[in-house]
Homo-oligomer: A and B are copies of this chain.
Amino acid sequence: MKTDKTQKYEDLGLDTKSARDGYRALNKDGTFNVRKQNVPFWERINIFHSLVSMSWPKFFMVLASGYFLINIFFASLFMLVGTQHLTGIRGITPLDQFIEAFFFSAQTITTLGYGQVAPLNLAANIVAATESLLGLLLFALATGLMYGRFSKPYATIKYSSHAVIAPYQDINGFMFRVVNPKKNQLMEVEVTVSLSLKRSDSELRDFHLLELERSKVVFFPTMWTIVHPINGSSPLDKLTRSDVLERDAEFIVMIKAFDESFSQTVYSKSSYKAHEIKWGRKFVYLTERHGNGVSIDISRIDETFQIELN
């Protein structure tokens, strides 16, 4: 029987008891390492989400397959109706007729309508009129999806591959760097860093929201180093490198911003595990004068140099 403590409800809606070392709550790509089981199919699926999120090649495969299958279906209907009720069908064998019906269907569903083939009797006309209506609606959807995919905002923020523990004023700080590689301007950028630490005396985990030197910037034109000062009130206070590894620390980062190009709010998530932290290293300063302004070499985001900790 579980005690009350194991049912502590915490800030992230994640497990507080997954004590095995090496468990990562948030994957590097920003997805959560949680499986939902026994979700009824209709509650689980989200067709729009799937179609907007899948890769472009897969998306085009879905479109092309749908186009092919729908034309197969309507070609079969025209065969049932009888291709003698279409003008311009020249095929003798059923296969030839089916192929011609297939392409007539394609001309109908795209509302191309060359007219070298055209419906003659009532049944053929009904099939063709239905198909053209369906075609317009389906292409409407495909259109919306194309645009939805193309205009989908996404925070393209890039994280330094490692975090560092470096001197900060007269104490030390936990630091990582983010860059905005695109031309999109990100405004009112807010960052939240949570630390998940296993307790030293049990298999339970605690979550701590870390205080940051600065948790919001008005503009984010290029690069930002996010700093958590390890002062007396920090959960990292007095912890050594081996403590942090032993207690299987995970730093969960969420960045929220307004993307001016898309006029929408975007989120970016990432995490650093204990072994992804470099102790006693500091990020290299990258801003350089360039003509009338300054320039930043984005490719050097991960560069650090050794430095003695306070």
Chain A residues near B (Cβ < 8 Å): 1-2, 4, 6-7, 9, 11-15, 17-18, 20, 22-24, 32-40, 43-49, 52-53, 63-64, 67, 71, 87, 99, 103, 106-108, 110-116, 118-119, 122, 125, 128-129, 132-133, 135-137, 139-144, 146-148, 150-153, 156, 158, 167-169, 179, 181-185, 187-188, 192, 194, 213-214, 217-225, 227, 254, 256, 258, 260-267, 269, 282-285, 287, 289-290, 292-300, 305
Q: A39-B299, A218-B11, A267-B187 are in contact. Are A140 and B146 (CB under 8 A)?
A: yes
Contact B144 A142, beta carbon cutoff 8 Å: no
A187 CB to nearest B CB, Å: 5
- The binding surface of chain A is classed by DSSP as mixed
**Most chain B Cβ neighbours within 10 Å, of A20, A217, A266:** A217
**Residues on B with beta carbons closer than 8 Å to the beta carbon of A64:** 133
**Most chain B Cβ neighbours within 10 Å, of A112, A118, A133, A293:** A112
Q: A32-B219, A34-B296 are in contact. Are A132 and B110 (CB under 8 A)?
A: yes
Q: How many copies does the complex hold?
A: 4
Residue in contact with A34 in the complex, picked from B107, B269, B284, B295, CB distance below 8 Å:
B295
Q: Which residue of B lies closest to A299 (CB)?
A: B38
**Most chain B Cβ neighbours within 10 Å, of A4, A36, A63:** A36
Contact B146 A141, beta carbon cutoff 8 Å: yes
Q: A112-B132, A116-B87, A139-B136 are in contact. Are A46 and B285 (CB under 8 A)?
A: no
Contact B293 A33, beta carbon cutoff 8 Å: yes
Q: Which residue of B lies closest to A300 (CB)?
A: B38
Contact A144 B141, beta carbon cutoff 8 Å: no
Contact A183 B49, beta carbon cutoff 8 Å: yes
**A-B pairs with the 10 shortest C-beta distances?**
A144-B147, A140-B143, A115-B115, A38-B299, A33-B293, A116-B118, A35-B295, A106-B129, A114-B115, A32-B221
